[in-house]
Chains A and B, each alone.
Chain A
Amino acid sequence: MSQPRLMQGNEACVEGALEAGLQFFAGYPITPSTEIAEMLAERLPRAGGVFIQMEDEIASMAAVIGASLAGMRAMTATSGPGFSLKQENLGYAALTETPCVVVNVQRVGPSTGMPTSPAQGDVMQSRWGTHGDHPVVVLSPSSVMETYVLTAKAFAVADELRVPVILLTDEITGHMRERVVLPDPGTLPRPHRPLEGAAPPDIPPMVHFGEGRRVLVTGLYRDSTGFWSESPEEADRLVRRLAGKVESRQEQLTMVDRWHLDDAQVVVVAYGCVARSAQRAMRLARERGHRVGMLRLACLWPFPGHEIEALAERADRIVVPEMNLGQMVGEVERAVRGRCKVIGYSRVDTELIRPEELLPVLEGV
């Protein structure tokens, strides 16, 4: 293991990406994600990779997809306004099954808001931002160390499932500096794309440009040969297979922390920076004799609905604190389906939720 060191969240994202074999980055500067671009502008060409600052976020997303199809492991990083601009091409990546990683260091919204301030308002956009039904995997770290781990994981999932993976972090996690101990270089498994003969039945093998295979990659619905098609049957098969690719692997993709769930009457469900506040609140409440437990989500989508369902059978209350007006809480309610009380707690004043303010909600006063 390497020496302990103080590292910024965005820096950990860069380290995780490079460790996973990142070769191509295209981006457009935007606070609070810019450090990622700046660091990669320096690191990537030194490692034989390519960095380019494109003319906007739409172009960045496009270039990332182009590079990925040409065989490079590729990523872009942005924040709210830029994430909105990437949506059309994100859908293109989903439909064409192009592996890529999109980092969104969330800031407040809508619009420019207070651009240097944190929020968690892009939870639903990360799931449903592009038009149409589409597969997507969304990972959300709560610490600097986890930013490293999940960035690397994002590449592994993107390659394996041939999907865009979104790393949804936030201004706090991205700019925070923390002590980390990184694993030794080369110890993480390298991501790999499904190759001919070794691909699972629901994921086509990856063929890159320049291999003499003369592939057609198109955003139109396609038949099994890859050529555009207007057949309703083909359309149905394609859309269901794409969505099923991720949904059917929900258990394998789920990443949660479970704390004190055995005896919990009250369960906090939290993610990202707010999970840190919630964890402290849980501890304080337990010290005061309340049976509070916590489920922390590191993978937001696919959503671990079964896990929430099981919790709802046992708990009296589920509390979902978020730095938005209630996005994940809706998803939790959907899984709970009235089996217990679900209480959202929102803060949108640009300040991280404090543990003390959660206490009364957890303790039910």
Chain B
Amino acid sequence: MITAGIILAEAAVMAGLNAVQTQSYGPESRGGATRAEVVIADGEIDYPKVTNADVVLVLTSEAYRRYGNKLKQGGLLVADSDLVGEVQAGPYRIVRVPITRIAREELGREIVANIVALGVLAALSQVVPMEALERAVMGRVPKGSEELNRRALRCGEAAGRQAQVKEAHEA
């Protein structure tokens, strides 16, 4: 998730915006509970942490339990529909997308779930232009995995769009 946060912030910078990315993680450098925070603005950013989030993305119930309450009124909660259990209704938008399943089944690699998530997030929130996001992804992923990650981003974007349509139907 930290990589996804970095990519999102980088995309914002590429799009001419200002961005700060911070993180917190346990003693393990991989796995374990991690949190990436990104602040994007037109102007100067003083406090670098997220206080009232416009968007919260959670892939596990544990993450939801810890960070769900960071969401502000009218914000957007994106949750993995398979891995995050019950979420509390409230004065915010909730979108559920099977992010990890898409990575596993459509792309054959669970490891790209974070890139799928970025696609979903960008499609639903428009915080950064898709073009800048794609450039940022290409700049950060290991050589040889560009095609896989490009597809992951596209799948995520499509899933985000689809969820949006479904949302409109239900409304």
**Direct contact between the two chains A and B in their complex (CB within 8 A):** yes
Residues of A at under 8 Å CB distance from B? 4-6, 115-117, 172, 175-179, 273, 276-277, 279-280, 283, 352, 354-356
User: Are A172's CB and B9's CB within 8 A?
Assistant: no
Please tell me if the beta carbons of A116 and B21 are within 8 angstroms of each other in the complex. Answer: no
In the bound complex, how far is the Cα of B46 from the Cα of A2, in angstroms? Answer: 23
A277 pairs with B6, CB closer than 8 A: no
User: Chain B residues with Cβ under 8 A from A5's Cβ?
Assistant: 10, 13
- 28 intermolecular pairs with C-beta atoms under 8 Å apart: A5-B10, A6-B9, A6-B10, A6-B13, A6-B21, A115-B27, A172-B48, A175-B23, A176-B21, A176-B22, A176-B48, A177-B6, A177-B9, A177-B20, A178-B19, A178-B45, A178-B48, A179-B13, A179-B17, A179-B18, A279-B46, A280-B46, A280-B47, A354-B47, A354-B51, A355-B47, A355-B51, A356-B51
- Using Cβ atoms and an 8 Å threshold, which residues of chain A touch B9? 6, 177
Q: CB-CB contacts of B21-51 with A at 8 A, as 1s and 0s?
A: 1111111000000000000000001111101
The answer on a CB contact under 8 Å between B26 and A116 is: yes
Most chain A C-beta atoms within 10 Å of own C-beta, residue among B9, B17, B18, B20 = B20
- 4 smallest CB-CB distances across A and B, nearest first, come from A280-B47, A177-B21, A279-B46, A6-B10
Distance, CA A122 to CA B45, complexed state (A): 26
Q: How far is the CA of A280 from the CA of B10 in the complex (A)?
A: 23
Q: What is the 8 Å Cβ interface bit string for chain B, positions 47-64, against chain A (1 contact, 0 not)? A: 111010000000000000
Chain B residue at smallest Cβ distance from A175: B23
Q: B48: which A residues are within 8 A, CB to CB?
A: 172, 176, 178, 273, 276, 352
A4, A178, A277, A356, most chain B CB atoms within 10 A = A178
A172 to B18, CA, bound (A): 18
On B, residues with C-beta under 8 Å from A are 6, 9-10, 12-13, 16-27, 45-49, 51
Contact: B25 with A276, CB < 8 Å? no
Q: In the assembled complex, how far is the CB of residue B39 from the closest CB belonging to chain A, in whole angstroms?
A: 10
CB distance from B12 to the nearest CB of A (A): 8
Once the chains are docked, how many angstroms separate the CA of A5 from the CA of B18? 10
> How many angstroms from the CA of A177 to the CA of B24 in the assembled complex?
13
Q: Closest A residue to B7 by CB, please name it.
A: A6
Expressed in whole angstroms, the minimum distance between the Cβ of A174 and any Cβ of chain B is 11
A265 CB, nearest partner CB in chain B, Å: 21
> In whole angstroms, what is the CA distance A354 to B27 when docked?
24
Shortest distance from the beta carbon of B110 to any chain A beta carbon, whole Å: 25
Known: A116-B24, A356-B51. 7 other contacts (CB 8 A): A6-B19, A176-B48, A177-B10, A177-B20, A276-B47, A276-B48, A354-B47
* A116–B27 touching, CB < 8 Å: yes
* A279 (CB) vs chain B CBs: closest residue: B46
- Assembled-state Cα–Cα distance A54/B16 (Å): 42
Given contacts A175-B22, A179-B19, whether A352 and B13 have CB atoms under 8 Å apart is no
Q: Is A178 within 8 A of B27, CB to CB? A: no
Chain B nearest CB: distance from A325 CB in Å?
22
Please, how many angstroms separate the alpha-carbon atoms of A176 and B47 in the complex? Answer: 12
List B contacts of A176 (CB < 8 A): 20-22, 48
Residue of B nearest to A118 (CB): B24
Q: State in angstroms the CA–CA spacing of A303 and B130 once bound together.
A: 48
